[in-house]
Amino acid sequence: MFDLTNKKTVITGGGSGIGKAISILFAKQGAEVFIIELNNKAGEETVKEITDLGGKSMVFSCDVSNQNNVKQIFEEIGTINILVNNAGISHVGNIEQTTEDDFDKLFQVNVKGIYNCMYAIINSMKDNGGGVILNMSSIAALVGIPDRFAYSMSKGAVASMTMSVARDYLFYNIRCNSISPARVHTPFVDGFINKHYIGREDEMFKKLSKSQPIGRMGKPEEVASLALFLCSNEASFITGCDYPIDGGFTKLIM
């Protein structure tokens, strides 16, 4: 089950966190993994881990907000069976604390970046009999999160784009779904705590962990397992769906 042998897979932001976990797991399941990463060094480290395990992987340095750059790389890769749009950035602040530059930056990466990748691949998937697209959304698209105005905006757009593509390409055998994680323990979370809560790191880590009803943050590998299912043939009847993976956050808030 969940076999991805010889499936050409593009994973954006595959150099760290959730993207890295997805890249490694997909490679273990037989996929040929092409990592699109702004941080080329991080991407190369993921590729090395994959090749050390006997898998196939390459990294391309790319800013997903640059459509020409994205199109050139996708053309170089050729036929792509699976696209995982994972690359994204965050921002902390309500609308008063969100500058125009902040807003534009979130939109360029989190919204336009996913649009660019889907735009670059959709005709190829149509011509080759179908494919799978998986977008990384967030619980911020589903519920109100304090001080996440611009981030919530961008993830709401991701959820909407996912539904639209799923509907428009239903009869081209192209499935499009999204995943909405709650807080997942990644290097980004550690960096955020270390930057904003100097001297209170342990306290804040415990507080943020307990914000999920299950009592802890998610693991990148747990998100990767859900991604694997949704991109595999076992999920062939699933399209146009969003999957919260949130430790009960959206349904069991106490």
* Domain residue limits at 145: 8-182+219-245
| Centroid of chain to Cα 158 | 10
Q: Domain count for the chain, please give it.
A: 2
Same domain, yes or no, for 110 and 171? yes
Would you say residue 176 lies in a domain? Answer: yes
Q: What is the pLDDT of residue 181?
A: 97
**Tokens, residue 218:** 């998610």
pLDDT tens sequence for the chain (254 residues): 999 999 999 999 999 999 999 999 999 999 999 999 999 999 999 999 999 999 999 999 999 999 999 999 999 999 999 999 999 999 989 999 999 999 999 999 999 999 999 999 999 999 999 999 999 999 999 999 999 999 999 999 999 999 999 999 999 999 999 999 999 998 888 887 888 789 998 998 998 899 889 999 999 999 999 999 999 999 999 999 999 999 999 988 65
Same domain, yes or no, for 83 and 197? no
- Backbone φ and ψ for 108, nearest 5 degrees, come out as -60, -45
Task: Report the amino acid identity of residue 178.
Answer: S
The CATH number of the domain holding residue 169 is 3.40.50.720
Q: What is the pLDDT of residue 253?
A: 67
Q: Closest Cα to residue 188, out of 84, 42, 32?
A: 42
Alpha carbons 254 and 249: distance in angstroms, whole number: 9
- Catalytic residue of the set 115, 119, 151, 243: 151
Would you say residue 253 lies in a domain? Answer: no
Alpha carbons 57 and 246: distance in angstroms, whole number: 30
Q: Closest Cα to residue 210, out of 202, 199, 222, 198?
A: 202
Q: What is the pLDDT of residue 197?
A: 84
Q: What is the pLDDT of residue 187?
A: 84
Q: pTM value?
A: 0.95
Question: Catalytic residue at 197?
Answer: no
Alpha carbons 166 and 239: distance in angstroms, whole number: 6
